[in-house]
Structure formats: C-alpha cells, structure tokens
C-alpha cells in the first residue's frame, strides 16, 4: 500500500451456499460487491446440501472475484490485502474460498487475513450503504446482537476487534428456529423469508406462544418455542381443525422478535452502551427491524438487506480493521481461533 491512497481489501466469503467477493476501501466504502447464490440448487433438499455447495463454489469463486474487480474498475495492483472467511461454516465450502485467497496471496504477494464469519456479520454495520448520502459508523461502546441461522448471541464491543460475549443461545439459534417452524407449517426454504411473508397475512396475537426470558443472564433459548408451535399444530390436527398458517407464523415471529429486542435493550441499558448493532441473516426480518428502529431508546445500526445475509463486503470490512491493526495471518494457518476473538 502506498502512502497516497487508501487501503483496499478484497474480501472472499464461501462459508455456506453463497460465493461472494467484494472490495472495501478504508473499511467502509464499498467499491464492488458480487454474490453467486445457490438457493435454487438447495430448495429441493429443504436445506443446504454440503457436497453440492462445495462443488458450486469451485465453479463460481474465480469468476466472482474477476467480476468484482471489473465492477470496481481495479487491477490486482490496486489491492492491498486479501481477507477470507476461515470459519465457522461448512468445511468443504470454506476450503474453496480460503484456498482461493491463499493462492491469490502467494501469487500476488499480498497479506492474507483470516476473518471469523461471526466477526464479519458484525462488521457489516461498518459498511456504508450504497444509497446513503451520509454515513456514521457505530460509536463505541456498542451492544452487538448477532442473529443468524446458526448463532444468536450478544457481544459487548468497547473498541474495534474487541468482543465480550455476554450470552448466546442454549439450543436453537433464531434462524434455525425459523427454518424448523417453516417446515412444520409446510412453508418453503429458506424459512425466514417464508415465515415473514406468511406472517404479513396473520394475527400476531392469535396464539400466546412462550417467551424464554432466562432471567439473570443474557442467554437465549428458542427450542421451547419451536416445540410449542409443534404441539399447537398437533392439537389442531387432532381436533380436525384447519391449520391457520398465517396466524401461527405471525405469533411465532412475534415471540422471537419480542425476546431478541427486550433482551438486547436490557443488556444495552445494563452496560451503558451508546449504540446497538443488529447483524446476521435474521436481521433482514422486517418485524425485527421495525421493532428495533421504533424503540427510540438507543441509536440502532442494521445493515441494508443485501448486507444481512452472507456476503463478502462484511468480510472485507472486518479484514480492513485487522489489516490496519497488524493482525495478519500466515499462509499455513489451519485452526479457527475461539470466538469471541480479541
């Protein structure tokens, strides 16, 4: 990197079923962002088929990288480092993206930065939305709610790359619960968007599903809620009643949102933070976004929809902050450090 231009990081993401690449300038300015989705390939399985995913990553990864550089109107000489997801995720999928990053690092003599996927989701809040005229990044200390298909947790951030995990799900993650309940209701994969669409036509107070508050701590639990939905469906079937899919979806969604919002706000008050970050795939949920933006107590940063699901812009942003902090990895690294990172 020369002294007269900003740092540009190429990010690569392949932890699950999205092959993505992006270029971020100075951790915030998104110069290009490309995603090759596999949703249609996996719909018939009702979830991600790991072997199919990894094979598709092999076909997509280098074309996506080249497409991203072309979109950004950059050459390899304009890139200062390569950041790639090193985990957690599907092993076969991760290998494809990370090995591509290793190859680029060796061939171009560029620093290689391994990024924890969860850290990447949090840093999606530091990426300036493409439609924003003005952008103010989150101000520390921050309460970060990470809510996705595999993880639901609260992290206190007092500075960049500093995380104190306060609590996490004790069983199902919120996104996992959405997928499982969607299957119970006969809705299409992925479950999150299907539940949201069905809920728009339903009554969120039709069923009083339980809220696992878990008083005295910051952990979450959604397994009991999922079981409550299952039992209600079985009860309705035993009574030969029509299954009110929309009402069940709306009531389930309301219970998830209620717990996520109330616990995050309680933690934010307790630790006296300035702002809240909500990130991860479930942060795309309209009801959750509305509840957080309407609470009025704390400024809330929720990424635009295209940055909520898996993408490489978040990986590049996190990679930038690791780059400027000198937290660069070696080419032979093969162990994912414990989360939260520090």
Task: Encode pLDDT of 7-28 as tens digits.
Answer: 999 999 999 888 999 999 999 9
- Supply the pLDDT for residue 335: 46
- The pLDDT of residue 264 is above 50: yes
What is the pTM for the complete model shown? 0.91
pLDDT range class, residue 342, cuts 50, 70, 90: very low
Token digits for 293? 């933006």
User: Per the CATH hierarchy, to which homologous superfamily does domain 8-131+308-324 belong?
Assistant: ATPase, nucleotide binding domain (3.30.420.40)
DSSP 9: E
- The pLDDT of residue 311 is above 70: yes
- Supply the pLDDT for residue 186: 96
> Over the chain, what is the mean pLDDT?
92
Least confident segment among 99-113, 124-138, 168-182, 324-338: 324-338
Rounded CA-CA distance 148/121 in Å is: 9
The torsion of the CA quartet 56, 58, 63, 64, rounded to 10 degrees, works out to 70
Rounded CA-CA distance 255/206 in Å is: 12
- The pLDDT of residue 285 is above 60: yes
Task: Encode pLDDT of 192-249 as tens digits.
Answer: 999 999 999 999 999 999 999 888 899 999 999 999 999 999 999 999 999 999 999 9
- Supply the pLDDT for residue 97: 95
Query: For 142-302, CATH number?
Result: 3.30.420.40
Q: Which among 70, 80, 75, 96 has a CA at the least distance from the CA of 10?
A: 80
- Supply the pLDDT for residue 329: 67
pLDDT-above-70 percentage for the chain: 93
Domain with CATH 3.30.420.40 in the chain: 8-131+308-324, 142-302
Give 42-88 as a 3 state SS string. Answer: HHHHCCCCHHHHHHHHHHHHHHHHHHHHHHHCCCHHHCCEEEEEEEC
């Amino acid at each position: 990197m020369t002294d007269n231009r900003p740092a540009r990081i190429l990010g690569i993401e392949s932890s699950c079923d999205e092959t993505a690449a992006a270029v971020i300038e100075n951790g915030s300015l998104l110069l290009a962002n490309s995603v090759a989705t596999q949703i249609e390939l996996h719909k018939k399985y009702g979830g991600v088929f790991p072997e199919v995913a990894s094979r598709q990553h092999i076909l997509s990864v280098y074309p996506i990288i080249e497409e991203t550089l072309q979109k950004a109107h950059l050459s390899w000489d304009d890139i200062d480092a390569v950041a790639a997801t090193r985990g957690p995720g599907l092993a076969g999928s991760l290998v494809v993206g990370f090995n591509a990053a290793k190859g680029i690092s060796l061939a171009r003599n560029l620093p290689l930065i391994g990024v924890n996927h969860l850290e990447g989701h949090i840093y999606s809040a530091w990426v300036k939305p493409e439609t924003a005229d003005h952008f103010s990044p989150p101000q520390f200390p921050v309460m970060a709610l990470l809510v996705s298909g595999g993880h639901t947790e609260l992290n206190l951030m007092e500075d960049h790359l500093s995380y104190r995990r306060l609590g996490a799900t004790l069983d199902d993650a919120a996104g996992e619960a959405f997928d499982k309940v969607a299957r119970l209701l006969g809705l299409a994969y992925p479950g999150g968007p299907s539940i949201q669409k069905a809920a728009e036509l339903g009554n969120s107070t039709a069923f009083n599903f339980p809220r696992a508050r878990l008083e005295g701590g910051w952990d979450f639990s959604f397994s009991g809620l999922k079981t409550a939905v299952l039992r209600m469906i079985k009860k309705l079937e035993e009574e030969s009643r029509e299954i009110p899919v929309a009402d069940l979806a709306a009531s389930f969604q309301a219970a998830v949102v209620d717990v996520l919002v109330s616990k995050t706000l309680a933690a934010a008050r307790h630790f006296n933070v300035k702002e809240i970050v909500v990130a991860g795939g479930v942060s795309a949920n309209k009801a959750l976004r509305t509840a957080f933006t309407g609470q009025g107590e704390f400024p809330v940063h929720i990424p635009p929809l295209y940055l909520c699901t898996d993408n490489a812009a978040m990986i590049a942003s996190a990679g930038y902050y690791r780059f400027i902090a000198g937290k660069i990895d070696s080419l032979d690294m093969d162990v994912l450090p414990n989360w939260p990172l520090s």
